Amino acid sequence: MVTATTTSAPLIEKHTIGYVPPEDRHGKVRDLFTLWFGGNIAPLPIVTGALGVQLFHLNLVWGIVAILVGHLVGGVLMALHSAQGPQMGIPQMIQSRAQFGSLGALLVVLIAGIMYIGFFASNIVLAGKSLHGVVDSVPVPVGIVIGALGSGIIGIIGYRFIHVLNRIGTWVLGVGIVLGFGYILTHVQTADFLTRGSFNISGWLATVSLAALWQIAFAPYVSDYSRYLPKDVPVAATFWTTYLGSALGSSLSFIFGAVAVLATPVGMDTMDAVKLATGSIGPLMLVLFLLSVISHNALNLYGAVLSLITLVQTFAHRWIPTAKSRALLSLIVLGACCFAAVGASADFIGHFVDMVLVLLVVLVPWTAINLIDFYAIHKGQYDINSIFQVDGGIYGRYNPQALLAYAIGIVVQIPFMNTPLYVGPISEHINGADLSWLVGLLVTSPLYFWLANRDSAYKRRLSNGKLANAI
């Protein structure tokens, strides 16, 4: 049994995408609760949660119900990915080689990397605007750079520091958002707080989808933050601490956004509504949210860099990436995002969020394939050495079954999509509700299971994988 603790772990993380050996495992499973709770008390989920009443015109009660349903459902998928971390000891994206092959996984890794960069860039803009709101003398471009540098320092130091900050943030932000709720509910400035909006099925489904997709967006990197835990940590413990932390933190932020918007006059920007609704404690809330953005955005930078290292290492298999490599790539990504964010249009965040919504369409089938492969087919038994071989070892360069199921999983979502780039006919018929993620999961999961189990060559690889893992 591994007995190492966080006190024996170096502050600056030395591993990148490689396997974390037992002697380097550390931490406690409860750290996953604080990571995902504290990380989700932030402006972006607050703004997203407000859309249920702003854009989809639900009232408070039905908005809250939709938010809870979406997070409780989507959080299951997210937490199932998290539970893979201690068992595998490697980042989520490089693990995808076991399902798609060493080259077949490149597309998914690239998409995940772009999504991380999009979130990172959007959040540094949000940090810049928040800092300007707290201190008028700080221009937004300067605030963007300051926010990026803060996230960069955290991301470069790495895994342990990220967990430490979120342990602190859970208490500070948790108390802060409770105080915020208390102030808003005792200082409601509108007469229609409980009556504005109404139930409509399309708006309710759309809000459920927004909440579920928020959770699914974490899937490509959630196990990166559990991979250092000792391998003997029970799967159920990893699942529940992640699930409860993420679902509770996200739900509170989503509901906070909806409450703030309903407590202020119609038409206000969400964060302006938060500032107005929280009155005398508004400046304190903005400071807390600013610190939250900087801390949480380090996860996006960290995930983007691990994805880039995975892409490069696929072709430069003799390269052994180190902490210095991770730091250098972090600085490159940080600089590029700052340059783009400072010189971009006022609707920078909107454009990137639009892009992320499109990318989620191609990540949902990956989620289905990864979970079915891990839990139903391989049952957590993989040959780690093969995953790092240039030819994919027993998993090969391509897995036709996974790639076919993945492609079909994308195609079946198209009629149900509702993104700024395309609205499918079925989504249009149900007043814009986006159910593509649900259709993608329901089709891809059984399809991949059937394809994988009918392929004799794949079964031989599965047997070899179990044997290698046992050895």
> Regarding predicted confidence, which is higher, 464 or 192?
192
Q: Please state, in angstroms and rounded to a whole number, the distance separating the CA atoms of residues 360 and 410.
A: 10
- Decide if pLDDT at 303 tops 90: no
- Decide if pLDDT at 11 tops 70: no
- Decide if pLDDT at 1 tops 50: no
Other CB atoms within 10 Å distance of the CB of residue 292: 30
Please write the tens of the pLDDT for every residue from 141-163.
888 888 889 888 888 877 777 77
Q: Mean of the pLDDT values across residues 74-101?
A: 91
**Encoded tokens for 250:** 């996200």
**Encoded tokens for 139:** 């221009």
- Decide if pLDDT at 257 tops 50: yes
- Decide if pLDDT at 377 tops 80: yes
**Encoded tokens for 273:** 């509504």
Q: Mean of the pLDDT values across residues 61-77?
A: 96
CB 168 within 8 A of CB 346: no
CB 223 within 8 A of CB 299: no
Q: Mean of the pLDDT values across residues 391-415?
A: 92
Tokens 């996230």 belong to residue:
151
User: DSSP string covering 112-166, please?
Assistant: HHHHHHHHHHHHHHHHHHHHHHH-TTS-HHHHHHHHHHHHHHHHHH-HHHHHHHH
- Decide if pLDDT at 399 tops 80: yes
pLDDT in the model for residue 262: 94
Percent of the chain with pLDDT over 90: 29
Amino acid identity, position 336? A
pLDDT in the model for residue 153: 87
Select, from the ranges 134-138, 266-270, 311-315, 436-440, the one with the highest average predicted confidence (pLDDT): 436-440
Q: Mean of the pLDDT values across residues 234-250?
A: 95
Which among 211, 389, 187 has a CA at the least distance from the CA of 276?
A: 187
Cα 187 to the chain's mean position, in Å?
Answer: 34
Select, from the ranges 73-77, 283-287, 415-419, the one with the highest average predicted confidence (pLDDT): 73-77
pLDDT in the model for residue 414: 92
- Decide if pLDDT at 275 tops 80: yes
Q: Mean of the pLDDT values across residues 267-279?
A: 85
User: If pLDDT is split at 50, 70 and 90, which confidence band does 462 have?
Assistant: low
Q: Is 423 helix (H, G, I), strand (E, B) or coil?
A: strand
- Kindly report the pTM of this predicted structure: 0.86
Other CB atoms within 10 Å distance of the CB of residue 281: 15
Q: Which CATH number fits domain 22-470: 1.10.4160.10, 3.30.70.260, 3.40.50.720, 1.20.120.1200?
A: 1.10.4160.10
CB 203 within 8 A of CB 296: no
pLDDT in the model for residue 4: 42
User: If pLDDT is split at 50, 70 and 90, which confidence band does 345 have?
Assistant: low
